[in-house]
Amino acid sequence: MSSAIEQFASSISLKTFTKAEDLKKRIWFTLAALVIYRIGTYIPLPGINPEIISEFIQRNAGGFFGMLDMFSGGAIGRMTIFSLMIMPYISSSIIIQLLTSVSPHLEALKKEGETGRRKINQYTRYGTVFLASVQAYGIAVGLEKMTGLTGGSAVLDPGLFFRLTTMITLTGGTLFIMWLGEQITSRGIGNGISLLIYAGIVANLPPSVFRTIELGRTGALSLLVILGILFMVAVVIAYVVYVERAQRRILIQYPKRQVAPDRPAAAQTTHLPLKLNSAGVIPPIFASSLLLFPATIAGFSAGSPDSWLGTISMYLNHGTPLYISLYVFMIIFFAFFYTAIVFNPTETAENLRKMGAYVPGVRPGPSTANFIDFILTRLTAIGSLYLASVCILPEFILSRVGSLPFYLGGTSILIVVSVTIDTINQVQSHLLAHQYEGLIRKSRGKGNR
């Protein structure tokens, strides 16, 4: 059956794509939404001095703000209305998922189906408003204290009015991005939130490439180093594509059912696919955020290298043994932690038992849950090592070529490749659905003759 589907998918041509009107509308809607988002990343906050803020971001390009600026597509460096990006929504989603595993009320809502899911989404939106408001107020206070090298202030008229307008503007920008991402998911192609992060990273790839070429032209980087970087990027992309498409399929069998009196009963078989990397890109993002936080605090405080903040920041620089060790440990920890949140073997085994399905050779119920958990644990162990290797390999290069930006790092490559694969798969699914609809219409037309 799977080989027949693969042959059918390979038969899809450009002619099929041109006839898929619904797919073309979805693609155009997605592109229009991404254009609107990119326009918003150039609208600055009212009452700020963009030059002072750009100067501050450049001084802290290797810290937490550098990573956030990468995810926001340069919106933080320009301090625009989309500076908070979608991070409050992601944080709220993770908090709600954590609470779902410990709160009986949220766990009951999760089991109610579509109604419960809508209620949980509403809680997530409330959490987004709260987190965005708190972060926006912190940014407003930080902007008022920010000064340039010449002593100029980043805020033209500091005070309560500036803090209030900043909170409203940044919170509103986050809510608009959240709504835009949901519209892309429902009316466009791909996951809207992931595509917005993807667009921010891709938008800054050309400038980073040109910057690297300029470093080679001026002699700051040798031609051999640039070729080595390009080779590394190509190898990492191929590696990510190979692993992200890898699955462990658990055979699931349904009991024999009598289809018709004159036909013998036949058992149906299917597969439960388990991805090698079930946690996605969440572990590297969390690990990077936590490790770069001391460097950010040191940059805010403008402390000397002899202070304790300066010492911590020095030991946690890119490429240092402590940084790499903690980075690998946190990626592995968050990979297991997040996988345990998003996939529940006990719930999966219970759903299989209710449908009458079973794993051949394994008893339904707790035995099936333990079997799935055993396989998932081994897959997560391999997937966490894969994530660590993807993120650590560029770290060795970045530690020796300090002028390279985050955009050439493992986390950005991982996000770009993963989102690209997911979007292509969804496009293929829509083309398959359109092809099936065409075959059904043809068969009905022949039957009516």
Residue 183 lies in a domain: yes
Angstrom distances, CA of residue 264 to CA of 1, 124, 256, 260, 277: 20, 50, 9, 8, 41
**Whether 152 and 254 share a structural domain:** no
Which of 221, 285, 315 has the alpha carbon at shortest distance from 70?
285
pLDDT single digits (tens) 355-414: 888 888 888 888 988 999 999 999 999 999 999 888 887 666 655 655 555 556 677 888
Q: What is the dihedral of CA 185, 188, 190, 195, to 10 degrees?
A: -80
Question: H helices within 267-320, ranges in order?
Answer: 282-301, 308-315
Where is the domain boundary, 169, 203, 237? 203
Residue 189 lies in a domain: yes
**Whether 196 and 226 share a structural domain:** no
Which of 69, 86, 78 has the alpha carbon at shortest distance from 39?
78
Tell me the DSSP string of 32-61. Answer: HHHHHHHHHTTSBPTTB-HHHHHHHHHHTT
Residue pair 54/78 in contact by the 8 Å Cβ criterion = yes
Q: How much of the chain, in percent, has pLDDT values that exceed 70?
A: 77
Amino acid at 146: M
Q: How much of the chain, in percent, has pLDDT values that exceed 90?
A: 13
Residue pair 423/8 in contact by the 8 Å Cβ criterion = no
How far apart (Å, rounded) are the C-alpha atoms in residues 352 and 374?
A: 17
Angstrom distances, CA of residue 298 to CA of 130, 292, 304, 313, 436: 27, 10, 9, 7, 59
**Whether 320 and 174 share a structural domain:** no
**Whether 321 and 177 share a structural domain:** no
Residue 253 lies in a domain: yes
Which range has the worst mean pLDDT, 56-60, 193-197, 265-269, 298-302? 298-302
What is the three-class DSSP state of 17? helix
**Whether 167 and 28 share a structural domain:** yes
Where is the domain boundary, 174, 203, 232? 203
Confidence of residue 20 (pLDDT cuts 50, 70, 90): confident
Domain count, the chain: 2
302: left (phi over 0), alpha (psi -120 to 50) or beta: left
**Whether 358 and 227 share a structural domain:** yes
**Whether 183 and 54 share a structural domain:** yes
Residue 2 lies in a domain: no
Residue 214 lies in a domain: no
Position 64 scores a pLDDT of 58
Residue 263 lies in a domain: yes
Confidence of residue 11 (pLDDT cuts 50, 70, 90): very low
**Whether 238 and 131 share a structural domain:** no
Confidence of residue 35 (pLDDT cuts 50, 70, 90): very high
Threshold 0.85, pTM exceeds: no
Residue 428 lies in a domain: no
- Is a pLDDT exceeding 70 seen at residue 65? no
pLDDT single digits (tens) 195-248: 888 888 888 777 777 777 777 788 777 788 778 778 878 888 888 888 888 888
**Whether 177 and 228 share a structural domain:** no
Residue 267 lies in a domain: yes
Residue 48: give the domain boundaries: 20-203
Question: Residue 95, class by beta-carbon neighbours within 10 Å (0-12 exposed, 13-18 middle, 19+ buried)?
Answer: middle
- Is a pLDDT exceeding 50 seen at residue 4? no
- Is a pLDDT exceeding 50 seen at residue 289? yes
**Whether 374 and 257 share a structural domain:** yes
**Whether 173 and 239 share a structural domain:** no
Where is the domain boundary, 170, 203, 236? 203
**Whether 230 and 183 share a structural domain:** no
How far apart (Å, rounded) are the C-alpha atoms in residues 348 and 340?
A: 13
How far apart (Å, rounded) are the C-alpha atoms in residues 161 and 333?
A: 43
Amino acid at 366: P
pLDDT single digits (tens) 176-195: 999 999 899 889 888 888 88
- Is a pLDDT exceeding 80 seen at residue 152? no
Position 6 scores a pLDDT of 45
CATH number at residue 290: 1.10.3370.10
